[in-house]
Chains A and B, each alone.
Chain A
């Protein structure tokens, strides 16, 4: 695997973030997830959350979720003033239990996706997105 300049930069910032930046999570986010799962245990795997490592602007961050066989997927941004982002419910005509959208992130934080599978079980995935503060802000 070779690293592009940008990936190298991302790795460097990521390493810095591990040691410096506290990633915010909130009780409100936990509550939103509990309301979705009814407090059930969540597994891992079977769900993919795609988000940029670094967002050039937190106002418009592209994300995608994919959970084959899911009935619905909850997206939560743990570091936002209100953690809720969206809930995708898939109908019989959906060809895949996947969707893409663009979201707002107030700061560097974890985005969490929780899928409710057809059998009633839950699985989760998360991604840390670093939100940069722009240059001169002009």
Chain B
């Protein structure tokens, strides 16, 4: 070990924990062509609490980052392939496939992920992508609904999201969605569980710091569904919310519940301006 190494260790030993805060400076380009916005000016509604928003990709190690830079290296693409087969397969009493109504997913689904969750006028409610998929299955195809956080749902969300990669997230927070958005904001700042932690305590106040051996991100959901190295499958945003709330040692809300729908809209809006990265890869 050379002199500089020892200097680095000495500096580290003396430095406070903040010495390795922040996101790194790496740039994310997928397949050498899709340039991702992983850092953006914070949306107006966050201007009091932070200047910039960062994709979770920026908080990961070089090795984990690399897995998302090429679609062949990204294991999540297995599930996109699987969903592509489902897209073309007729199911249910109507004998229809997704493709029968929506044609080529590459064209019909481009830009869809960007605006979800969004207000659905005829239903009179804010709908997540998962709700819309299940609405199609139940009411258009006459097929059984998928489990909200199940593998089929996560894969279909990934297939739809991948058509919007690179486009900046742009969910509406006002108009008819506003009351849902405000309910989500309320939840974001509410402490839960025996640990009395809110989303904000980790992902707004302490992003960039270490939580045990892990580098805390801003908890952005522009990369969801996400392939996690930990469980080697696609994980949906609601499944992740559940995990987070559980880890505060609270009884959690259910995936698909009004609370998590509101929270998804609010958290998505915190990432307005970041590229859709889904399906991303995280630890």
- The short answer to whether A and B are in direct contact, CB under 8 Å, is yes
A11 neighbours in B (Cβ, 8 Å): 5, 8-9, 12
Query: B222 → chain A, closest Cβ, in Å?
Result: 18
The docked-state distance in angstroms from the alpha carbon of A12 to that of B12 is 7
Does B230 have its Cβ within 8 Å of any Cβ on chain A?
Answer: yes
Residues of B in contact with A, size category: 35 or more
Known: A5-B20, A132-B214, A133-B212. Is A138-B247 also a contact (CB below 8 A)? Answer: yes
**Stretch from A35-43, A52-60, A87-95, A111-119 at the B interface:** A52-60
Q: How many residues of A contact B (CB 8 A)?
A: 27
Contacting pair B212 A134 (CB below 8 A): yes
Count A-B pairs with CB separation below 8 Å. Answer: 86
Query: Are A12 and B8 in touch, CB under 8 angstroms?
Result: yes
Are A59 and B66 in contact, with the CB atoms below 8 A?
A: no
Provide the B257-276 mask, 1 if CB < 8 A to any CB of A, else 0: 00000000000000000000
Kindly state the separation between the CA atoms of A64 and B216 in the bound complex, as whole angstroms. 28
Q: How far, in Å, is B215 (CB) from chain A's closest CB?
A: 8
Q: Is the CB of B191 closer than 8 A to any CB of chain A?
A: no
In the complex the two chains form, what is the Cα distance from A93 to B243 in whole Å?
48
Asked if B240 and A62 make an inter-chain contact with CB atoms under 8 angstroms apart, the answer reads: no
Distance in angstroms from A124 CB to nearest chain B CB is 22
Q: Tell whether A135 pairs with B63 under 8 Å between CB atoms, given A3-B8, A11-B8.
A: no
Question: Is A9 an interface residue when CB atoms closer than 8 A count as contact?
Answer: yes
B49 proximity list for chain A (CB < 8 A): none
B64 touches A (CB below 8 Å): yes
Q: Given that A3-B4, A6-B61 are known contacts, is A60 also in contact with B232, CB under 8 Å in the complex?
A: yes
- Interfacial chain B residues near A20, Cβ < 8 Å: none
CB distance from A58 to the nearest CB of B (A): 9
The answer to the question of A15 belonging to the interface, with a C-beta cut-off of 8 Å to chain B, is yes
Separation in Å of the B258 CB from the closest CB of chain A?
21
CB of B27 within 8 Å of the partner chain: no
Judge if B86 is at the interface, Cβ distance under 8 Å: no
| A136 close to B244 (CB less than 8 A) | yes
Q: Is the CB of A135 within 8 A of B213?
A: yes
Residue of B nearest to A2 (CB): B4
Using CB atoms, name the residue of chain A closest to B211: A135
Distance in Å from the Cβ of A43 to the closest Cβ of chain B? 24
B94 at the interface (CB under 8 A from A): no
Binary contact readout A8-40 vs B (1 if CB under 8 angstroms, 0 otherwise) = 110110010000000000000000000000000
A137 touches B247 (CB 8 A): yes
The verdict on A134 contacting B66 (CB below 8 Å), with A8-B12, A11-B9 known, is no
A residues engaging B (CB < 8 A)? 1, 3-9, 11-12, 15, 52, 54-57, 59-62, 132-138
Q: Provide a sorted-by-A list of 13 A–B residue pairs whose CB atoms are within 8 angstroms.
A: A3-B4, A6-B20, A8-B12, A12-B8, A54-B61, A56-B63, A56-B214, A56-B283, A60-B229, A135-B214, A136-B214, A137-B247, A138-B240
Q: Given A5-B19, A11-B8, output 13 extra A-B contacts at Cβ < 8 Å.
A: A1-B4, A3-B8, A5-B24, A8-B20, A11-B5, A11-B9, A52-B61, A54-B61, A55-B61, A134-B214, A135-B213, A136-B243, A136-B244
